[in-house]
Structure 1
Protein backbone atom coordinates (compact mmCIF):
# COMPACT_ATOMS: atom_id res chain seq x y z
CA UNK A 1 0.00 0.00 0.00
CA UNK A 2 1.31 3.44 -0.96
CA UNK A 3 0.60 5.34 2.27
CA UNK A 4 1.14 9.10 2.66
CA UNK A 5 4.18 8.37 4.80
CA UNK A 6 5.69 6.15 2.13
CA UNK A 7 5.04 8.81 -0.54
CA UNK A 8 6.77 11.46 1.58
CA UNK A 9 9.77 9.16 2.05
CA UNK A 10 9.99 8.66 -1.71
CA UNK A 11 9.52 12.39 -2.29
CA UNK A 12 12.44 13.15 0.03
CA UNK A 13 14.75 10.74 -1.78
CA UNK A 14 13.59 11.88 -5.21
CA UNK A 15 14.19 15.58 -4.52
CA UNK A 16 17.57 14.96 -2.94
CA UNK A 17 18.69 12.83 -5.86
CA UNK A 18 17.55 15.29 -8.51
CA UNK A 19 19.08 18.24 -6.66
CA UNK A 20 22.41 16.41 -6.53
CA UNK A 21 22.36 15.93 -10.30
CA UNK A 22 22.15 19.63 -11.17
CA UNK A 23 25.31 21.71 -11.31
CA UNK A 24 25.15 25.49 -10.68
CA UNK A 25 26.31 26.33 -14.19
CA UNK A 26 23.36 24.37 -15.64
CA UNK A 27 20.95 26.84 -14.06
CA UNK A 28 23.04 29.98 -14.41
CA UNK A 29 24.39 30.18 -10.86
CA UNK A 30 27.99 31.18 -10.03
CA UNK A 31 30.36 28.38 -9.09
CA UNK A 32 32.91 30.38 -7.10
CA UNK A 33 34.13 28.80 -3.87
CA UNK A 34 34.45 25.25 -2.73
CA UNK A 35 31.25 23.18 -2.57
CA UNK A 36 31.12 20.36 -0.04
CA UNK A 37 28.24 18.53 -1.68
CA UNK A 38 27.50 17.73 -5.33
CA UNK A 39 24.76 19.51 -7.15
CA UNK A 40 22.71 22.43 -5.87
CA UNK A 41 22.21 23.55 -2.31
CA UNK A 42 18.69 23.63 -0.88
CA UNK A 43 18.73 27.41 -0.66
CA UNK A 44 19.67 27.61 -4.34
CA UNK A 45 16.72 25.47 -5.35
CA UNK A 46 14.48 27.63 -3.17
CA UNK A 47 15.73 30.82 -4.84
CA UNK A 48 15.31 29.36 -8.33
CA UNK A 49 11.77 28.20 -7.50
CA UNK A 50 10.81 31.41 -5.73
CA UNK A 51 9.91 29.74 -2.42
CA UNK A 52 11.17 30.10 1.11
CA UNK A 53 14.26 28.15 2.10
CA UNK A 54 12.56 26.75 5.20
CA UNK A 55 9.51 25.66 3.21
CA UNK A 56 11.61 23.88 0.59
CA UNK A 57 13.66 22.24 3.35
CA UNK A 58 10.48 20.91 4.93
CA UNK A 59 9.29 19.62 1.55
CA UNK A 60 12.56 17.81 0.92
CA UNK A 61 12.50 16.40 4.43
CA UNK A 62 9.13 14.84 3.66
CA UNK A 63 7.16 16.84 6.19
CA UNK A 64 3.37 16.92 5.93
CA UNK A 65 2.94 20.38 4.39
CA UNK A 66 0.53 21.87 1.88
CA UNK A 67 1.80 22.22 -1.69
CA UNK A 68 0.27 23.84 -4.75
CA UNK A 69 0.56 23.06 -8.44
CA UNK A 70 2.28 26.41 -9.11
CA UNK A 71 4.97 25.68 -6.55
CA UNK A 72 5.53 22.14 -7.82
CA UNK A 73 5.88 23.48 -11.36
CA UNK A 74 8.45 26.01 -10.14
CA UNK A 75 10.44 23.30 -8.34
CA UNK A 76 10.25 21.05 -11.39
CA UNK A 77 11.66 23.88 -13.52
CA UNK A 78 14.41 24.60 -11.00
CA UNK A 79 15.48 20.96 -10.99
CA UNK A 80 15.20 20.67 -14.79
CA UNK A 81 12.72 17.80 -14.53
CA UNK A 82 11.39 16.30 -17.74
CA UNK A 83 7.70 15.49 -18.27
CA UNK A 84 7.72 11.99 -16.65
CA UNK A 85 9.73 13.29 -13.68
CA UNK A 86 7.32 16.21 -13.26
CA UNK A 87 4.38 13.81 -13.24
CA UNK A 88 6.21 11.65 -10.67
CA UNK A 89 6.76 14.72 -8.49
CA UNK A 90 3.04 15.45 -8.50
CA UNK A 91 2.18 11.88 -7.54
CA UNK A 92 4.67 11.84 -4.67
CA UNK A 93 3.31 15.17 -3.44
CA UNK A 94 -0.20 13.71 -3.36
CA UNK A 95 -1.62 15.77 -6.24
CA UNK A 96 -3.17 14.76 -9.54
CA UNK A 97 -0.58 14.80 -12.33
CA UNK A 98 -0.91 17.78 -14.68
CA UNK A 99 -2.61 17.42 -18.01
CA UNK A 100 -0.17 16.79 -20.82
CA UNK A 101 0.24 20.11 -22.57
CA UNK A 102 0.31 20.76 -26.27
CA UNK A 103 -1.29 19.00 -29.18
CA UNK A 104 -1.90 15.28 -28.84
CA UNK A 105 0.79 13.25 -30.56
CA UNK A 106 -0.22 12.37 -34.11
CA UNK A 107 2.84 10.53 -35.40
CA UNK A 108 2.52 6.76 -35.79
CA UNK A 109 5.49 4.48 -35.26
CA UNK A 110 6.17 1.58 -37.65
CA UNK A 111 5.74 -0.81 -34.72
CA UNK A 112 2.22 0.48 -34.06
CA UNK A 113 1.36 0.32 -37.76
CA UNK A 114 2.56 -3.31 -37.82
CA UNK A 115 0.44 -4.11 -34.76
CA UNK A 116 -2.71 -2.78 -36.41
CA UNK A 117 -2.07 -4.74 -39.59
CA UNK A 118 -1.13 -7.92 -37.71
CA UNK A 119 -4.49 -7.88 -35.90
CA UNK A 120 -6.28 -8.42 -39.23
CA UNK A 121 -8.65 -9.83 -40.33
CA UNK A 122 -10.09 -8.39 -37.12
CA UNK A 123 -10.52 -4.59 -36.83
CA UNK A 124 -7.92 -2.51 -35.00
CA UNK A 125 -7.89 1.27 -34.57
CA UNK A 126 -5.37 3.78 -33.22
CA UNK A 127 -6.93 6.85 -31.62
CA UNK A 128 -5.66 9.85 -29.68
CA UNK A 129 -6.81 11.12 -26.30
CA UNK A 130 -9.78 12.90 -27.91
CA UNK A 131 -10.86 9.54 -29.41
CA UNK A 132 -10.04 10.81 -32.89
CA UNK A 133 -8.88 8.03 -35.21
CA UNK A 134 -5.24 8.31 -36.33
CA UNK A 135 -4.90 5.00 -38.17
CA UNK A 136 -6.67 1.67 -38.71
CA UNK A 137 -6.25 -1.62 -40.51
CA UNK A 138 -8.11 -2.89 -43.58
CA UNK A 139 -10.65 -4.78 -41.46
CA UNK A 140 -11.60 -1.62 -39.60
CA UNK A 141 -12.01 0.21 -42.89
CA UNK A 142 -14.43 -2.48 -44.10
CA UNK A 143 -16.34 -2.85 -40.82
CA UNK A 144 -16.78 0.82 -39.90
CA UNK A 145 -16.81 2.33 -43.36
CA UNK A 146 -13.74 4.49 -42.76
CA UNK A 147 -12.46 6.32 -45.82
CA UNK A 148 -9.72 8.39 -44.16
CA UNK A 149 -8.35 9.07 -40.66
CA UNK A 150 -9.98 11.83 -38.66
CA UNK A 151 -13.19 10.17 -37.52
CA UNK A 152 -13.96 10.69 -33.85
CA UNK A 153 -15.08 7.48 -32.12
CA UNK A 154 -17.49 9.27 -29.77
CA UNK A 155 -19.16 11.25 -32.55
CA UNK A 156 -19.30 8.15 -34.74
CA UNK A 157 -21.02 6.14 -32.02
CA UNK A 158 -23.83 8.69 -31.77
CA UNK A 159 -24.21 9.46 -35.48
CA UNK A 160 -23.16 6.44 -37.57
CA UNK A 161 -26.21 4.56 -38.94
CA UNK A 162 -24.34 1.27 -38.47
CA UNK A 163 -24.51 1.74 -34.69
CA UNK A 164 -27.94 3.35 -34.60
CA UNK A 165 -29.40 0.46 -36.61
CA UNK A 166 -29.11 -1.69 -33.45
CA UNK A 167 -31.07 0.46 -30.97
CA UNK A 168 -31.26 -2.16 -28.19
CA UNK A 169 -27.49 -2.59 -27.99
CA UNK A 170 -26.84 1.09 -28.65
CA UNK A 171 -29.14 2.33 -25.90
CA UNK A 172 -27.64 -0.09 -23.38
CA UNK A 173 -24.03 0.84 -24.15
CA UNK A 174 -24.33 4.60 -24.77
CA UNK A 175 -24.24 5.67 -21.08
CA UNK A 176 -20.99 3.75 -20.52
CA UNK A 177 -19.45 5.27 -23.64
CA UNK A 178 -20.22 8.80 -22.45
CA UNK A 179 -19.04 8.02 -18.91
CA UNK A 180 -15.73 6.74 -20.27
CA UNK A 181 -15.24 9.90 -22.34
CA UNK A 182 -15.88 12.08 -19.30
CA UNK A 183 -13.28 10.12 -17.34
CA UNK A 184 -10.74 10.60 -20.14
CA UNK A 185 -11.43 14.33 -20.41
CA UNK A 186 -11.54 15.07 -16.66
CA UNK A 187 -7.75 15.46 -16.16
CA UNK A 188 -7.74 18.21 -18.83
CA UNK A 189 -10.78 20.41 -18.05
CA UNK A 190 -9.46 23.33 -20.12
CA UNK A 191 -8.31 21.32 -23.13
CA UNK A 192 -9.95 22.80 -26.25
CA UNK A 193 -9.65 19.45 -28.05
CA UNK A 194 -12.11 17.80 -25.67
CA UNK A 195 -14.34 20.88 -25.64
CA UNK A 196 -14.56 20.86 -29.44
CA UNK A 197 -15.74 17.23 -29.54
CA UNK A 198 -18.27 17.72 -26.73
CA UNK A 199 -19.70 20.93 -28.19
CA UNK A 200 -19.93 19.49 -31.69
CA UNK A 201 -21.68 16.31 -30.62
CA UNK A 202 -24.03 18.02 -28.16
CA UNK A 203 -25.28 20.12 -31.05
CA UNK A 204 -25.88 17.06 -33.22
CA UNK A 205 -27.24 14.52 -30.73
CA UNK A 206 -29.87 15.21 -28.08
CA UNK A 207 -29.17 11.76 -26.62
CA UNK A 208 -25.54 12.65 -26.05
CA UNK A 209 -26.41 16.04 -24.54
CA UNK A 210 -28.78 14.37 -22.07
CA UNK A 211 -26.23 11.72 -21.09
CA UNK A 212 -23.42 14.27 -20.76
CA UNK A 213 -25.53 16.38 -18.41
CA UNK A 214 -25.72 13.43 -15.98
CA UNK A 215 -21.98 13.71 -15.15
CA UNK A 216 -21.55 9.94 -14.94
CA UNK A 217 -17.93 8.75 -14.88
CA UNK A 218 -16.56 5.33 -15.73
CA UNK A 219 -13.42 3.81 -17.20
CA UNK A 220 -14.29 0.42 -18.67
CA UNK A 221 -11.20 -1.32 -20.04
CA UNK A 222 -13.32 -3.77 -22.02
CA UNK A 223 -16.70 -3.34 -23.66
CA UNK A 224 -19.09 -4.94 -26.14
CA UNK A 225 -19.40 -3.16 -29.47
CA UNK A 226 -22.32 -3.99 -31.76
CA UNK A 227 -23.22 -2.60 -35.17
CA UNK A 228 -25.15 -3.55 -38.30
CA UNK A 229 -23.05 -3.82 -41.45
CA UNK A 230 -24.93 -3.20 -44.72
CA UNK A 231 -23.33 -6.23 -46.43
CA UNK A 232 -22.98 -8.92 -43.74
CA UNK A 233 -25.48 -7.95 -41.03
CA UNK A 234 -24.96 -7.80 -37.29
CA UNK A 235 -21.44 -7.73 -35.88
CA UNK A 236 -20.62 -8.09 -32.18
CA UNK A 237 -17.14 -7.43 -30.81
CA UNK A 238 -15.37 -7.56 -27.48
CA UNK A 239 -13.18 -4.45 -27.47
CA UNK A 240 -9.99 -3.91 -25.51
CA UNK A 241 -8.20 -0.55 -25.32
CA UNK A 242 -4.43 -0.50 -24.82
CA UNK A 243 -2.40 2.62 -24.03
CA UNK A 244 0.99 2.91 -25.71
CA UNK A 245 3.66 3.23 -23.03
CA UNK A 246 5.89 5.55 -25.05
CA UNK A 247 2.96 7.64 -26.31
CA UNK A 248 0.42 7.76 -23.46
CA UNK A 249 -1.99 9.93 -25.45
CA UNK A 250 -2.34 7.21 -28.10
CA UNK A 251 -4.55 4.16 -27.62
CA UNK A 252 -4.96 0.99 -29.67
CA UNK A 253 -8.50 -0.40 -29.74
CA UNK A 254 -8.65 -4.09 -30.64
CA UNK A 255 -11.93 -5.67 -31.77
CA UNK A 256 -12.37 -9.40 -31.24
CA UNK A 257 -15.48 -11.28 -32.48
CA UNK A 258 -17.68 -12.40 -29.62
CA UNK A 259 -17.53 -16.21 -29.40
CA UNK A 260 -21.29 -16.58 -28.93
CA UNK A 261 -22.13 -14.81 -32.19
CA UNK A 262 -21.64 -15.32 -35.96
CA UNK A 263 -19.30 -12.34 -36.16
CA UNK A 264 -16.18 -14.33 -37.05
CA UNK A 265 -17.97 -15.96 -39.98
CA UNK A 266 -19.39 -12.59 -41.04
CA UNK A 267 -15.89 -11.10 -41.07
CA UNK A 268 -14.75 -13.94 -43.31
CA UNK A 269 -17.63 -13.22 -45.71
CA UNK A 270 -16.82 -9.53 -45.68
CA UNK A 271 -13.17 -10.28 -46.40
CA UNK A 272 -14.13 -12.44 -49.36
CA UNK A 273 -16.51 -9.80 -50.68
CA UNK A 274 -13.76 -7.19 -50.61
CA UNK A 275 -11.37 -9.51 -52.44
CA UNK A 276 -13.89 -10.52 -55.11
CA UNK A 277 -13.47 -8.83 -58.51
CA UNK A 278 -16.15 -6.31 -59.46
CA UNK A 279 -19.13 -7.73 -61.33
Structure 2
Protein backbone atom coordinates (compact mmCIF):
# COMPACT_ATOMS: atom_id res chain seq x y z
CA UNK A 1 0.00 0.00 0.00
CA UNK A 2 1.54 3.30 -1.13
CA UNK A 3 0.29 5.17 1.93
CA UNK A 4 2.21 2.78 4.21
CA UNK A 5 5.48 3.79 2.57
CA UNK A 6 4.81 7.47 3.35
CA UNK A 7 4.58 7.00 7.12
CA UNK A 8 7.96 6.80 8.84
CA UNK A 9 8.54 4.60 11.90
CA UNK A 10 9.32 7.74 13.89
CA UNK A 11 5.92 9.25 12.97
CA UNK A 12 4.27 6.01 14.09
CA UNK A 13 6.15 6.01 17.40
CA UNK A 14 8.57 3.22 16.46
CA UNK A 15 12.38 3.16 16.36
CA UNK A 16 13.50 3.79 12.76
CA UNK A 17 16.33 1.23 12.83
CA UNK A 18 18.88 3.69 11.45
CA UNK A 19 20.72 2.89 8.22
CA UNK A 20 20.04 -0.84 8.54
CA UNK A 21 16.38 -0.33 7.62
CA UNK A 22 15.73 -1.18 3.97
CA UNK A 23 11.92 -0.80 3.81
CA UNK A 24 10.74 2.79 3.30
CA UNK A 25 8.00 3.70 5.67
CA UNK A 26 6.22 1.05 7.73
CA UNK A 27 6.35 -2.70 7.21
CA UNK A 28 3.14 -4.69 6.97
CA UNK A 29 3.95 -6.34 10.30
CA UNK A 30 4.31 -2.95 11.98
CA UNK A 31 1.01 -1.64 10.64
CA UNK A 32 -0.74 -4.82 11.79
CA UNK A 33 0.69 -4.57 15.31
CA UNK A 34 -0.11 -0.86 15.66
CA UNK A 35 -3.66 -1.40 14.34
CA UNK A 36 -4.24 -4.47 16.51
CA UNK A 37 -4.92 -6.88 13.64
CA UNK A 38 -3.26 -10.02 12.34
CA UNK A 39 -0.40 -9.75 9.87
CA UNK A 40 -2.02 -12.13 7.40
CA UNK A 41 -5.33 -10.30 7.66
CA UNK A 42 -3.66 -6.97 6.94
CA UNK A 43 -1.80 -8.45 3.97
CA UNK A 44 -5.08 -9.77 2.59
CA UNK A 45 -6.60 -6.28 3.04
CA UNK A 46 -3.82 -4.74 0.95
CA UNK A 47 -4.30 -7.44 -1.68
CA UNK A 48 -8.01 -6.71 -1.88
CA UNK A 49 -9.11 -10.20 -0.87
CA UNK A 50 -12.66 -10.93 0.20
CA UNK A 51 -12.34 -10.74 3.98
CA UNK A 52 -14.62 -9.87 6.85
CA UNK A 53 -13.90 -6.38 8.11
CA UNK A 54 -15.52 -3.86 10.42
CA UNK A 55 -15.49 -0.09 10.40
CA UNK A 56 -13.72 -0.06 13.76
CA UNK A 57 -10.81 -2.08 12.36
CA UNK A 58 -10.60 0.09 9.25
CA UNK A 59 -10.50 3.18 11.43
CA UNK A 60 -7.56 1.67 13.34
CA UNK A 61 -5.69 1.07 10.09
CA UNK A 62 -6.55 4.59 8.91
CA UNK A 63 -5.21 6.03 12.16
CA UNK A 64 -1.89 4.16 11.86
CA UNK A 65 -1.46 5.18 8.21
CA UNK A 66 -2.52 8.76 9.01
CA UNK A 67 -5.12 8.76 6.27
CA UNK A 68 -7.04 11.95 5.64
CA UNK A 69 -10.83 11.92 5.32
CA UNK A 70 -11.02 11.17 1.55
CA UNK A 71 -8.41 8.40 1.91
CA UNK A 72 -10.26 6.93 4.89
CA UNK A 73 -13.50 6.86 2.93
CA UNK A 74 -11.69 5.24 -0.01
CA UNK A 75 -10.37 2.54 2.34
CA UNK A 76 -13.97 1.72 3.29
CA UNK A 77 -14.91 1.42 -0.39
CA UNK A 78 -11.98 -0.93 -1.06
CA UNK A 79 -13.10 -3.09 1.85
CA UNK A 80 -16.66 -3.27 0.51
CA UNK A 81 -18.23 -1.09 3.22
CA UNK A 82 -20.26 2.08 2.92
CA UNK A 83 -18.03 5.11 3.53
CA UNK A 84 -18.56 6.78 6.91
CA UNK A 85 -20.37 10.07 7.17
CA UNK A 86 -18.11 13.08 7.31
CA UNK A 87 -18.06 14.87 10.64
CA UNK A 88 -18.20 18.64 10.27
CA UNK A 89 -16.63 20.80 12.99
CA UNK A 90 -19.20 22.85 14.88
CA UNK A 91 -17.09 25.98 14.50
CA UNK A 92 -17.15 25.77 10.70
CA UNK A 93 -18.92 28.65 8.96
CA UNK A 94 -22.62 27.86 8.35
CA UNK A 95 -22.41 28.41 4.60
CA UNK A 96 -19.66 29.54 2.24
CA UNK A 97 -19.83 32.70 0.18
CA UNK A 98 -20.05 30.68 -3.02
CA UNK A 99 -23.14 28.82 -1.78
CA UNK A 100 -24.78 32.04 -0.66
CA UNK A 101 -24.09 33.51 -4.09
CA UNK A 102 -25.59 30.39 -5.68
CA UNK A 103 -28.94 30.75 -3.92
CA UNK A 104 -28.95 34.53 -4.44
CA UNK A 105 -28.38 33.99 -8.16
CA UNK A 106 -31.44 31.71 -8.21
CA UNK A 107 -33.63 34.78 -7.80
CA UNK A 108 -36.45 35.44 -8.44
CA UNK A 109 -37.01 31.75 -7.61
CA UNK A 110 -36.83 30.59 -3.99
CA UNK A 111 -33.74 28.76 -2.76
CA UNK A 112 -32.48 27.85 0.70
CA UNK A 113 -29.81 25.80 2.45
CA UNK A 114 -30.68 23.39 5.25
CA UNK A 115 -28.53 21.40 7.64
CA UNK A 116 -29.05 17.78 8.66
CA UNK A 117 -31.85 18.79 11.06
CA UNK A 118 -33.59 20.86 8.36
CA UNK A 119 -32.63 24.13 9.99
CA UNK A 120 -32.63 26.96 7.46
CA UNK A 121 -29.12 28.35 7.64
CA UNK A 122 -29.35 30.46 4.48
CA UNK A 123 -32.10 31.54 2.10
CA UNK A 124 -32.71 34.14 -0.57
CA UNK A 125 -35.25 36.94 -0.66
CA UNK A 126 -37.70 34.90 -2.76
CA UNK A 127 -37.83 32.18 -0.10
CA UNK A 128 -38.91 34.81 2.41
CA UNK A 129 -41.47 36.35 0.06
CA UNK A 130 -43.01 33.01 -0.95
CA UNK A 131 -42.59 30.74 2.08
CA UNK A 132 -42.27 33.32 4.88
CA UNK A 133 -38.80 32.03 5.87
CA UNK A 134 -37.53 34.31 8.63
CA UNK A 135 -35.65 34.32 11.92
CA UNK A 136 -38.70 33.04 13.81
CA UNK A 137 -39.17 29.90 11.72
CA UNK A 138 -35.62 28.68 11.15
CA UNK A 139 -36.48 24.97 11.12
CA UNK A 140 -38.44 23.74 8.10
CA UNK A 141 -40.52 21.27 10.11
CA UNK A 142 -41.48 23.85 12.70
CA UNK A 143 -42.37 26.27 9.89
CA UNK A 144 -44.48 23.63 8.15
CA UNK A 145 -46.48 22.70 11.25
CA UNK A 146 -46.34 25.95 13.20
CA UNK A 147 -46.36 28.90 10.81
CA UNK A 148 -49.97 29.93 10.08
CA UNK A 149 -48.78 31.87 7.03
CA UNK A 150 -46.96 28.86 5.57
CA UNK A 151 -49.89 26.57 6.30
CA UNK A 152 -52.44 28.94 4.74
CA UNK A 153 -50.35 29.35 1.58
CA UNK A 154 -49.40 25.71 1.08
CA UNK A 155 -51.89 24.04 -1.27
CA UNK A 156 -52.41 20.41 -0.29
CA UNK A 157 -50.92 20.91 3.17
CA UNK A 158 -52.78 17.96 4.73
CA UNK A 159 -51.56 15.56 2.04
CA UNK A 160 -47.99 16.81 2.07
CA UNK A 161 -47.70 16.65 5.86
CA UNK A 162 -47.35 12.86 5.76
CA UNK A 163 -44.71 13.08 3.02
CA UNK A 164 -42.70 15.67 4.92
CA UNK A 165 -42.63 13.58 8.09
CA UNK A 166 -41.65 10.44 6.14
CA UNK A 167 -38.78 12.35 4.51
CA UNK A 168 -37.59 13.59 7.89
CA UNK A 169 -37.51 10.04 9.21
CA UNK A 170 -35.33 9.09 6.24
CA UNK A 171 -33.02 12.01 7.03
CA UNK A 172 -32.79 10.97 10.68
CA UNK A 173 -31.99 7.39 9.68
CA UNK A 174 -28.72 8.62 8.14
CA UNK A 175 -27.54 9.65 11.62
CA UNK A 176 -28.55 6.85 14.03
CA UNK A 177 -28.23 7.86 17.65
CA UNK A 178 -28.06 11.58 16.86
CA UNK A 179 -29.75 13.30 19.79
CA UNK A 180 -30.46 16.42 17.72
CA UNK A 181 -33.14 14.60 15.72
CA UNK A 182 -34.65 13.12 18.86
CA UNK A 183 -34.92 16.57 20.46
CA UNK A 184 -36.71 18.03 17.43
CA UNK A 185 -39.09 15.07 17.16
CA UNK A 186 -39.91 15.23 20.89
CA UNK A 187 -40.63 18.96 20.77
CA UNK A 188 -42.75 18.71 17.63
CA UNK A 189 -44.66 15.73 19.03
CA UNK A 190 -45.43 17.67 22.22
CA UNK A 191 -46.65 20.76 20.33
CA UNK A 192 -48.45 19.29 17.33
CA UNK A 193 -50.70 16.26 17.67
CA UNK A 194 -50.77 15.63 13.93
CA UNK A 195 -46.99 15.42 13.78
CA UNK A 196 -47.00 12.90 16.65
CA UNK A 197 -49.56 10.77 14.81
CA UNK A 198 -47.64 10.87 11.53
CA UNK A 199 -44.32 10.12 13.20
CA UNK A 200 -45.82 7.12 14.97
CA UNK A 201 -46.67 5.55 11.60
CA UNK A 202 -42.99 4.93 10.91
CA UNK A 203 -43.28 5.82 7.21
CA UNK A 204 -40.00 6.47 5.38
CA UNK A 205 -39.63 8.35 2.09
CA UNK A 206 -36.30 9.41 0.59
CA UNK A 207 -36.13 13.09 -0.34
CA UNK A 208 -35.95 14.12 -3.95
CA UNK A 209 -37.76 16.23 -6.52
CA UNK A 210 -41.41 16.79 -5.72
CA UNK A 211 -44.11 19.31 -6.63
CA UNK A 212 -44.99 22.18 -4.30
CA UNK A 213 -47.92 24.56 -4.77
CA UNK A 214 -48.43 27.87 -3.02
CA UNK A 215 -51.38 30.27 -2.97
CA UNK A 216 -49.62 33.61 -2.51
CA UNK A 217 -51.79 36.49 -1.20
CA UNK A 218 -50.39 38.95 -3.77
CA UNK A 219 -49.71 36.98 -6.98
CA UNK A 220 -51.96 33.95 -6.54
CA UNK A 221 -51.07 30.32 -7.27
CA UNK A 222 -47.41 29.39 -7.75
CA UNK A 223 -46.25 25.94 -8.86
CA UNK A 224 -42.74 24.66 -8.11
CA UNK A 225 -40.54 21.63 -8.54
CA UNK A 226 -38.53 21.33 -5.34
CA UNK A 227 -35.15 19.61 -5.68
CA UNK A 228 -32.60 18.82 -2.95
CA UNK A 229 -28.91 18.79 -3.84
CA UNK A 230 -26.06 17.70 -1.55
CA UNK A 231 -22.89 19.80 -1.33
CA UNK A 232 -19.88 17.50 -1.87
CA UNK A 233 -17.50 19.28 0.52
CA UNK A 234 -20.26 19.89 3.08
CA UNK A 235 -22.30 16.66 3.23
CA UNK A 236 -24.13 18.00 6.28
CA UNK A 237 -25.76 20.68 4.09
CA UNK A 238 -28.40 20.47 1.37
CA UNK A 239 -29.34 23.12 -1.17
CA UNK A 240 -33.07 23.24 -1.87
CA UNK A 241 -33.89 24.79 -5.24
CA UNK A 242 -37.43 25.64 -6.32
CA UNK A 243 -37.91 25.79 -10.07
CA UNK A 244 -41.04 27.06 -11.81
CA UNK A 245 -43.17 24.27 -13.26
CA UNK A 246 -43.06 24.53 -17.09
CA UNK A 247 -46.26 25.77 -18.68
CA UNK A 248 -47.25 27.91 -15.68
CA UNK A 249 -46.96 31.67 -15.14
CA UNK A 250 -45.03 31.14 -11.90
CA UNK A 251 -41.77 32.66 -13.14
CA UNK A 252 -43.40 35.81 -14.50
CA UNK A 253 -45.31 36.28 -11.24
CA UNK A 254 -42.10 35.95 -9.23
CA UNK A 255 -40.28 38.38 -11.50
CA UNK A 256 -43.00 40.94 -10.81
CA UNK A 257 -43.02 40.15 -7.09
CA UNK A 258 -39.26 40.82 -6.97
CA UNK A 259 -39.67 44.18 -8.73
CA UNK A 260 -39.99 47.42 -6.73
CA UNK A 261 -43.71 47.54 -7.49
CA UNK A 262 -44.18 43.94 -6.39
CA UNK A 263 -42.24 44.45 -3.15
CA UNK A 264 -44.40 47.47 -2.33
CA UNK A 265 -47.56 45.49 -3.04
CA UNK A 266 -46.38 42.66 -0.77
CA UNK A 267 -45.99 45.12 2.12
CA UNK A 268 -49.58 46.36 1.88
CA UNK A 269 -52.10 44.79 4.27
CA UNK A 270 -54.16 42.04 2.69
CA UNK A 271 -57.86 42.86 2.58
CA UNK A 272 -60.19 40.40 4.12
TM range (shorter): 0.7 to 0.9
Contact between 2:210 and 2:227, CA under 8 Å: does it hold in 1?
Answer: yes
CA distance in 2, matches of 1:94, 1:187: 19
Residue 40 of structure 1, CA deviation: 1.1
1:139-190 CA distances to partner (integer Å, 9 max, x unpaired)? 1121122233871122222323344336762233333322322222212111
1:188-221 CA distances to partner (integer Å, 9 max, x unpaired)? 1111222222222222223322332333333232
Are 1:264 and 2:251 counterparts?
yes
Contact between 1:235 and 1:263, CA under 8 Å: does it hold in 2?
Answer: yes
* 1:45 match: 31
Question: What is the aligned counterpart of 2:175 among 185, 188, 201?
Answer: 188
CA distance in 1, matches of 2:181, 2:70: 23
Q: 1:117 to 1:70 in 2, by over 3 A?
A: same
Residue 134 of structure 1, CA deviation: 0.9
Contact between 1:163 and 1:170, CA under 8 Å: does it hold in 2?
Answer: no
Contact between 2:132 and 2:150, CA under 8 Å: does it hold in 1?
Answer: no
Are 1:82 and 2:52 counterparts?
no
* 2:57 match: 71
CA distance in 2, matches of 1:246, 1:196: 27
Provide structure 2 residue ranges, at least 5 long, that are not aligned to the other structure: none
Q: 1:83 to 1:237 in 2, by over 3 A?
A: same
Q: 1:193 to 1:106 in 2, by over 3 A?
A: farther
Contact between 1:106 and 1:128, CA under 8 Å: does it hold in 2?
Answer: no
Contact between 1:135 and 1:149, CA under 8 Å: does it hold in 2?
Answer: no
* 1:91 match: 77
Q: 1:160 to 1:234 in 2, by over 3 A?
A: farther
Residue 57 of structure 1, CA deviation: 2.1
Worse-matched range after superposition: 179-188 or 163-172: 163-172
CA distance in 1, matches of 2:241, 2:154: 23
Q: 1:278 to 1:215 in 2, by over 3 A?
A: closer
Moved over 4 A (4+): 102-106, 275-279
Contact between 2:112 and 2:239, CA under 8 Å: does it hold in 1?
Answer: yes
Q: Provide TM-score, normalisation by structure 2.
A: 0.85
Contact between 1:232 and 1:270, CA under 8 Å: does it hold in 2?
Answer: yes
Worse-matched range after superposition: 212-221 or 73-82: 212-221
* 1:36 match: 22
| Count of aligned positions | 264
Q: Provide TM-score, normalisation by structure 1.
A: 0.83
* 2:40 match: 54
Worse-matched range after superposition: 245-254 or 105-114: 105-114
Question: What is the aligned counterpart of 2:225 among 238, 242, 245?
Answer: 238
Are 1:26 and 2:43 counterparts?
no
Alignment of 1:192-203 (within 5 A): 192-203=179-190
Alignment of 1:141-160 (within 5 A): 141-148=128-135, 151-160=138-147
* 1:204 match: 191
Q: 1:92 to 1:203 in 2, by over 3 A?
A: farther
Q: 1:163 to 1:64 in 2, by over 3 A?
A: same
1:198-245 CA distances to partner (integer Å, 9 max, x unpaired)? 222222223322332333333232111223333333332111112122
Q: What root-mean-square deviation, in Å, do the aligned CA atoms of Structure 1 and Structure 2 show?
A: 2.6
* 1:273 match: 262
